[in-house]
A and B are shown apart, each in its own frame.
Chain A
Amino acid sequence: MTPSKPPFWNDPKVRAIVFQVLVSAGVIAVGVYLVRNLLHNLEVRGISTGFGFLHNRAGFAVNLTLIPYDEDSSYGRTFVVGLLNTLLVSGLGIFFATILGFVVGIARLSRNWLVATLASAYVETFRNLPLLVQILFWYFAVFLNLPPPTEAIHLGHSAFLTLRGLYLPWPEPEPGFGWTLGAFVVSVGAVVFLVRWARRRQELTGRIFPSFFASIAILVLVPLVVFFATGSPLEWSKPELDGFNFTGGVAVIPELAALLLALSVYTAAFIAEIVRAGILSVSHGQTEAAGALGLSRARTLRLVVIPQAMRVTIPPLTSQYLNLTKNSSLATAIGYPDLVSLFAGTTLNQTGQAVEVMSMTMAVYLVISLVISLLMNWFNARMALVER
């Protein structure tokens, strides 16, 4: 006897589809209702709508721009300036937090009592203070207490530290600098070749070639030789006190420094714990086995422990990176011109177009976060333990 086919309303597949369609339709209907209602209300209240304002002249100045910007630039350009400033502080923050976090995380496991205790104290202090408090502390209590430009701290060779920022000389390439750049590209190629050759030789003969130090030597020496051979085609733009401020060179404004320091130091405390957890998750037998094979402690860490620790470390690391990026919006508390301060703040107030500005800002953070997640998931998939 063949089982009789149930009526379609009892078929789990049909049911699943029907429910999904109903829920989706409901969500879309609510969304459409909200948007229509919003547009209607904005119109009734005589509030301008649309994205046309992005072409209008902004008319205000910004104290940190990575792309050319002046008061005649449009609000659209303000958006890009703010976005780049957010990416700058997030990117640098992720870089420094990762390095600092790894160092502290490993230090916490050190056999040296002092190192381990200092690392613990660091983690417990910075992890347990609110980030906003730390940002305000670095900015108002540390950086703004540096001396004014007239009494700048001279750091030797045209570098100056003042409460207006850190001023450093900046190289400006002259014609002929292209050769040096070319030499650098060639030496990168040479290094890639060298590393591959060294690895193959090690596999074949077991002899180890110090490819790390050799690579560094090639990367530094070859471009340097070409640079001097072509007659040092670099002009240093040096900061000099001119009236109220230093001009020339490059300046790191205290708002950026304070925000970067606070974000890095705060997030590094969390990363240190993640790294420690990752390392502890690798069983001690692995280390002993590596020792039995005659690997040095440094090589054991690099070749045996860290690759396995990474499996445990990367997923929580991703969320720390996301946190850091989103926390960078606290910039607005100390006047660092990030996306929230510049676009969702100043631009919003000058144009009054809250709905457009806020949705663009939210979309940006969503996209940045999704991109970071995507990259980290890809990295995780590469690092994951391949089970055979």
Chain B
Amino acid sequence: MRMSSVTTAVSGLLLAIAAGTVHAGATFDAVKKRGFVQCGVNTGLAGFSVADEKGVWKGIDVDVCRAVAAAVFGDASKVKFTPLTAKERFTALQSGEVDVLSRNTTWTVVRDGSLGISFTGVTYYDGQGFLVKKKLNVKSALKLNGATVCVGSGTTTELNLQDYFTSHKMKFKPVVYDTSDETVKGFEAGRCDVLTSDQSQLYALKIKLAKPDDAVVLPEVISKEPLGPAVRQGDVEWFNIVRWSLFAMVDAEDLGVTSKNIDEMKKSSVVPDVKRLVGTEAVKHGLGIPDDWAYQVVKQVGNYGEIFEANVGAGSPLKIARGLNALWNKGGIQYAPPIR
């Protein structure tokens, strides 16, 4: 959209004007001084980040930002959200408009290496899939030769789509839209046969359709899409805080600590790992944040399993199975280093 070009141009200008050098700790210092975390999220993606009728942001990406705020300030509400389109997101992070980008963004080497940003971890292991209308009677993505495909602009999805069709010697016609709302409208009107996106998004978009039962998600997953939060390069302290905010939630699930039982655990648990997590046994973490940071994260936001179930899992309309996002010892690959 036009907006994004304007934002980009303005951000470019900001980069040009912003004087002085970036020193280590700049982001963390700025956040502490400001008193809240500025977090870039999706403009509206059910389960990941969506604003309800009162303007309160909800979703798994939103909870990651709240966890960072809880770790830094001991208060998960000290965070403000900036909704960003796929096109705007990196410029917004680069120019300092947001401190954390937690916006279902795929971690790739190019983004880590040449955009001046670093991914801190993986919130959600995703993969790209296809949504088709049932009446086409297509059971496999390999039968999509010659199809027209709706896709969001400026995403890894666009590139994977091409790679998949090329490697299977199939042809397709792309229709590239700017926002996911337009993509759904185009798909619904029949402008394209197929809608492609990360699988998690397909489920979210499917429930937006007028008749969700008329469409079906194909079984093929054609790419690896590890979605995670990213920060600007040049502030290792800040990088670590964001990274460990997510780790704390995964560790808590691993240890069976939830937002509900954490106070009890804090009082009674004798397990050293739990005591280190809730802060009853001191850990010289050197992150520059309060010692009860992990306690605050789990108490106020929840453990990883809790935020998953509430936002995208069984407790949500999306009902996505844990799959790859189950813990490493429960058949998934979610794993976090220990707090010690």
Who on chain B is nearest to A359 by CB? Answer: B12
B299 interface contact, C-beta 8 A: no
Cα A344 to Cα B88 in complex, Å, equals 11
- Secondary structure of the A side of the interface? helix
A34 in contact with B16 (CB, 8 Å): yes
A61 in contact with B2 (CB, 8 Å): no
Stretch at the interface among B68-76, B175-183, B287-295: B175-183
Interface positions, chain B 168-213, Cβ under 8 Å from A, are: 172-178, 182, 185-186, 189-191, 193
A203 interface contact, C-beta 8 A: no
Q: How large is the interface on B (under 10, 10 to 19, 20 to 34, 35 or more residues)?
A: 35 or more
From known contacts A47-B94, A242-B146, A244-B148, infer whether A345 and B9 are also in contact, taking CB-CB under 8 Å.
no
Cα A341 to Cα B136 in complex, Å, equals 30
> B301-325 vs A: 1/0 string, CB under 8 Å?
0000000000000000000000000
> A46-66 vs B: 1/0 string, CB under 8 Å?
111000000000011111000
Who on chain A is nearest to B162 by CB? Answer: A71
Closest Cβ of chain B: how far from A110's Cβ, in Å?
38
Total residue contacts A-B, CB cutoff 8 A: 155
From known contacts A243-B145, A332-B178, infer whether A59 and B15 are also in contact, taking CB-CB under 8 Å.
no
A222 interface contact, C-beta 8 A: no
Cα A332 to Cα B163 in complex, Å, equals 24
B148 in contact with A352 (CB, 8 Å): no
Closest Cβ of chain B: how far from A306's Cβ, in Å?
37
Who on chain B is nearest to A59 by CB? Answer: B159
A352 in contact with B16 (CB, 8 Å): no
A61 in contact with B146 (CB, 8 Å): no
From known contacts A60-B162, A335-B176, infer whether A45 and B116 are also in contact, taking CB-CB under 8 Å.
yes
Total interface residues on A, CB under 8 Å, equals: 51
Q: Which residues from B are CB-within-8-Å of A245?
A: 146-148, 173
B271 interface contact, C-beta 8 A: no
Closest Cβ of chain A: how far from B334's Cβ, in Å?
28
A346 in contact with B176 (CB, 8 Å): yes
Stretch at the interface among A16-24, A35-43, A275-283, A287-295: A35-43
* Contacts from B to A (Cβ < 8 Å): 1-2, 4-5, 8-9, 11-12, 15-19, 21-22, 86-87, 90-91, 94, 110-111, 114-116, 136, 144-148, 153-155, 158-159, 161-163, 166, 172-178, 182, 185-186, 189-191, 193, 232-234
* Contacts from A to B (Cβ < 8 Å): 34-35, 37-38, 40-42, 44-48, 59-63, 71, 140, 144-145, 148, 163-164, 242-245, 247, 254-255, 329-330, 332-335, 337, 340-341, 344-346, 348-352, 354-355, 358
10 A-B pairs closest in CB distance: A349-B154, A144-B189, A47-B116, A38-B16, A45-B116, A48-B114, A352-B115, A46-B116, A243-B146, A244-B147
A-B contacts, 14 of them at CB < 8 A, read: A38-B15, A41-B22, A42-B15, A45-B116, A46-B116, A48-B115, A60-B159, A60-B161, A144-B185, A244-B193, A245-B147, A332-B1, A344-B5, A345-B153
